[in-house]
Structure 1
Amino acid sequence: MEKHDELIEALGALTHDPLAFVYFAYPWGEPGTPLENMEGPDEWQIQILKDIGEQLKKGKDLQTAIQEAVASGHGIGKSALISWLIHFAISTHENTRGVVTANTEGQLRTKTWPELSKWHNMFIAKDLFTYTATAIFSSDKDYEKTWRIDAIPWSKNSPESFAGLHNQGNRILVLFDEASAIDDVIWEVTEGALTDANTEIIWCAFGNPTRNSGRFRECFRKYRKFWNTYQIDSRTVKISNKAKIEEWLEAYGEDSDFFKVRVRGVFPSASDLQFISTEIADKAQKQSYKPGAFEHLPVIIGVDPAWTGSDSLEIVMRQGYSMKSLASIPKNDDDWRMAQLIAQFEDEYKADAVFIDMGYGTGIYSIGKQLGRKWRLIEFGGKSNDPVYLNMRAYMWGQMKEWLREGGSIPPNDQALYDDIVGPEAIIDKNGRIQLESKKDMKDRGLPSPNKGDALALTFAARVVKKSETGNRIVANTSYSPF
């Protein structure tokens, strides 16, 4: 460590100055680096770094945790700030301990924590710390257990990871990313753990203000006196995508909940942008029926094809209040093989209708036609069967939501389907219609495309009656009932 003595001394001098640390720790403006065209943090980041520094300088006068809550629009650089705070906390105070979590394990593993890797490669003290897919810790073997910050997915059923944050006399860092969707139980357990005296405690919560209830919302309302709060409009930030913001402004309007949440950093007027709540999905997971309970009802198959990215082709079957995932296949352009597989399922389950998303499904549909199959293409962007909904996709998801609420059952072990169902958000557009969040916008905020959810939603495209009774007659489903 002798060769690092000068660096360690410099870092120690910055122990209460996170802003100076950020300028010192990364190669701002240096040619040949990713930062060669960047001068430093944005104004909103500077403000928060200054505030944390001022609180730390109070030293022993600081009797409570430093608590910063940031509600913001998209694309402001919050993941970068999270990375800087991790590096600052762990490298300017010995034996720092910390926890970083996010709204979902996917967000944590694919966006929040990988951002740290990008900055770690540019970090002036990277040789002093080991970065892994789940933690950053001291490279000194004697301290790797006690001098570390871990990326930990949260679970309201087992919040123990957030109860053991004690680090008497040293420093604790807790970071919540996309904090609106982190369960209140995790907030409460974390709050209870941060009670060590004479300990530097920094707790920061970042996120789009997607929910008008919950602990993140209350940081700006009920518990405001305990939190330093910021609401950052994406339009005021240098790096934000101004062209995309203009598109959203034109599409949704300045005062829409979508624009409030995604751009202005303002909490929505509605209680929640989440279209299907976790409460509805939880209830559906617990619901079960005896085999054959709905054998008198039609069997409907929904197919959502995929050819791009990490998306998968999903085939789902529904009968009454029960459903089953039949196949999940990585992106595949072999329409002939997919058509044969769908035909196999149609015969096996004696399906009364097969609905296929037109997006990537036209080839599969055409081959099915050659095979003598009477499948039907559904255009997600087509006209809704109900003027309450903007388009067919929103309509089908609306029907699925009612089905779940009334007693629909989903498998308790199918986490992908559960995540798909609760993932999309919805807003009321300028004409008063329900508009479901697009797959692209979901991906932009770190969520996978809800292919399995779309496949289940497709089973609500039209009302179906059993072949044996009507020869597979399909009737427009304007008031769906599983019975």
Structure 2
Amino acid sequence: MTLAAQSRDPDDDIADAAALYQFDPQGWALFAWDWGNGDLKDMDGPRKWQADINEEIRQHLNSENRYSPLQIAVSSGHGIGKSAEMGMLSNWAMSCFSDCKIVTTANTESQLRTKTSPEIGKWFRSSITAHWFNVQAMSIKARDNEHSDLWRQDFVAWSAHNTEAFAGLHNKDKIIVLMFDEASKIADSVWEVAEGALTDENTIIIWLVFGNPTQNTGRFRECFRRNRKRWIRRQIDSRTVPGTNKKKLDQWVEDYGEDHDFVKVRVRGMFPSSSAKQFIGTDDVDAAQKVHLRKDQYSFAPKIIGVDPAWTGDDELVIYFRQGLYSKLLMKMPKNDNDVLVANHVMRFEDELQADAVFIDGGHGTGIYSVGITMNRSWQLVWFGGKSIDLGCLNKRVEIWKNMRDWLKQGGAIDPKDDVLYQDLIGPELVPRTDGKLQLESKEDMKVRGIPSPNRADALALTFAYPVVAKEDDGRSNVRTDDRYGSSSNDDYNPYG
């Protein structure tokens, strides 16, 4: 052995390996941990699905698209080792790139502090570069004093009303890694701010989201549906992964059935048909997007317009039309306090379509209604918080949403290109009640969850406020507002046409 070899710092060999595997997280994983020994005694390397994700990253970094954001979404059952993959990738990025910046969040601060952070910290402590980093409860920093504030991983609890930590995520000409754990329950507003922040030029940007698919709404779900072209997607069945409790998983399948939502979410890594509290199931909305109607299938039915004024500056003012099983968005516009202007739009649509009834949300629509009354229009106010004629419903709002849900199940058709309506319909959840009555969560509570106000769905729901028959020859609207929904002198009347 030469003197030079004897005096070489072992860290130099590690640094050489870090340079060699800078664009190869799988190669780094095999190098950096003592596979086959200690806690890894039964493993010879990352699991197959983890190696697959590592390979996707390697291919991206070795391509001409290196500086285009790489977005990977992993939906899985229980126990597949997602936290381990987050730990290995975190250590790879921090070890192989100087001044690496990683931001990690989870569905709750408790999850982040007690599970995500400790698990990732464990992989740092067992890595060959453990001595390079200072692992703390909510951060991991390089021990290099000159770089510790720049070369770091931070565990940041999110808030739908406080997204500054994500808005400031920049690291130009270097590398950014953003990780979401239990991504199903992270608010849409956090996703949106994070997405907008990942815009640095000549920067390696990797966005990784992991989670059990517990929610059938929100941005994590849309990684696999509306936004699927933007994401590399993987759905991992727990039964295909070594180390999971196959006996317990098989018991769940035996008890619930292969296609039960519990098994879909907890075992198969698939999104449920509807979440536990979701009022309108995704399957019903999917079906409604595929309905194609001939005009003779709805032309005989009453023509109804629903008007939902905007509540806040972020909301839409929406005018919707329905005739039997057919529905159409007539107008959407930002919040507008010019009641005369809006009323004129409604009158124009009413005349053009020869509508039989116009229903307006009373919460913020009284001014519009007043203009219509002045113009001799027979419009009706609908108070969402008013008394329901359905004894199983807490108020009018959930009553008309229930009617709309029934309409969807009966073959109602919606625009397949209207993603906003789609999300509006599946967004609201039920509020548990001890008296068994149905109650929808408020718009305010939806916004706390990061879900926007469902204005388009509310406008469509307004068309189910009361039974309607065609106008009399003198033009008078025939709206029935008795407390027996659907009852009239015509015993064969069908409120859905």
Classify the TM-score, shorter chain: 0.5 to 0.7
Pick aligned residue for 1:38 from 40, 43, 56 = 43
Partner of 2:19: 12
Q: Which residue of 2 aligns with 1:225?
A: 229
- 1:228-271 C-alpha deviation (Å, 9 max, x unpaired): 0000111100111111112211221110011001111111111x
- What is residue 264 of structure 1 aligned with on the other side? 268
Cα offset, 1:398, TM superposition: 4.9
1:29 to 33, 36, 40: 36
Give the secondary structure class of the aligned counterpart of 1:150.
strand
One-letter identity of the residue aligned with 2:196: G
- After superposition, the CA RMSD in angstroms is 2.5
Are residues 1:92 and 2:99 paired?
no
Letter in 2 for 1:254: E
Query: Cα offset for 1:407?
Result: 10
Q: CA 1:274–1:206 in 2, change beyond 3 Å: closer, same or farther?
A: farther
Q: Is residue 2:59 matched to residue 1:54?
A: yes
- The within-5 A match list for 1:427-438 is none
1:208-229 deviation line (CA, Å, top 9, x unaligned):
1111111111111111111000
Kept in 1: contact 2:100–2:175 (CA 8 A): yes
CA drift of 1:95 comes to 0.5
Task: Quote the residue 2:118 is aligned against.
Answer: 114
Contact 2:432–2:439 (8 Å) recurs in 1: no
Do 1:100 and 1:150's aligned partners in 2 also have CA atoms closer than 8 Å? yes
**1:251 maps to what in 2?**
255
Letter in 2 for 1:108: L
Counterpart residue number, 2:241: 237
For structure 2, the 5+ residue unaligned runs are 1-7, 281-430, 450-497
Query: Aligned partners of 1:151 and 1:197: how far apart in 2?
Result: 24
Change over 3 Å in CA distance of 1:276–1:120 after alignment to 2: farther
- Could you tell me which residue of structure 1 aligns to residue 276 of structure 2? 273
CA–CA distance in 2 between the matches of 1:238 and 1:56? 28
Q: 1:3 to 1:47 in 2, by over 3 A?
A: closer
Aligned length: 288
8 Å CA contact 1:276, 1:401 repeated in 2: no
- Secondary structure in structure 1 of the residue aligned to 2:84: helix
Matched AA of 1:99: V
1:158 to 157, 162, 168: 162
Structure 1 unmatched runs, 5+: 278-396, 413-417, 420-483
Change in Cα spacing, 1:7 to 1:406, as seen in structure 2 (3 Å) is closer
Of the candidates 178, 183, 186, which is equivalent to residue 182 of structure 1? Answer: 186
Relative to 1, partners in 2 of residues 1:184 and 1:238: Cα closer, same or farther, differing over 3 Å?
A: same
The secondary structure found in structure 2 opposite 1:34 is: helix
| Structure 2 CA distance for aligned equivalents of residues 237 and 14 of structure 1 | 26
In the TM superposition, residue 121 of structure 1 has moved relative to its aligned partner by: 2.4
User: Distance in 2 between the 1:125 and 1:198 partners?
Assistant: 27
**Residue type at the aligned position of 2:66:** L
CA distance in 2, matches of 1:176, 1:34: 26
Q: CA separation in 1, counterparts of 2:230 and 2:278?
A: 31
**Given the alignment of the two structures, is residue 104 of structure 1 paired with residue 111 of structure 2, yes or no?**
no
SS at match of 1:61: coil
Shift of the 401–225 alpha-carbon distance from structure 1 to 2, 3 Å rule, reads farther
C-alpha displacement at 1:402, in angstroms? 5.3
In the alignment, which residue of structure 1 is the partner of 2:297? Answer: none
Native 8 Å contact 2:102 2:177 kept in 1 = yes
The share of aligned pairs that are identical, in percent, is 46
Paired amino acid for 1:38: M
* Partner Cα distance (2:81, 2:440) in 1: 42
Shift of 1:37: 1.9
Provide TM-score, normalisation by structure 2.
0.55
Separation in 2, partners of 1:119, 1:100: 15
Change (3 A) 1:249 1:144: same
Detail structure 1 runs of 4+ shifted over 2 Å in the superposition: 60-63, 273-277, 397-408
Q: CA deviation at 1:3?
A: 5.0
User: What's 1:125 paired with?
Assistant: 129
Larger Rg over CA atoms: 2
Alpha carbons of structure 1 residues 143 and 402: separation in structure 2 relative to 1, 3 Å: farther
CA distance in 2, matches of 1:210, 1:201: 27
Distance 1:61 1:406, change over 3 A: closer
Partner of 2:214: 210
In structure 1, C-alpha distance between the alignment counterparts of 2:178 and 2:90, rounded to whole Å? 9
Inter-partner Cα distance in structure 1 for 2:435 and 2:199: 42
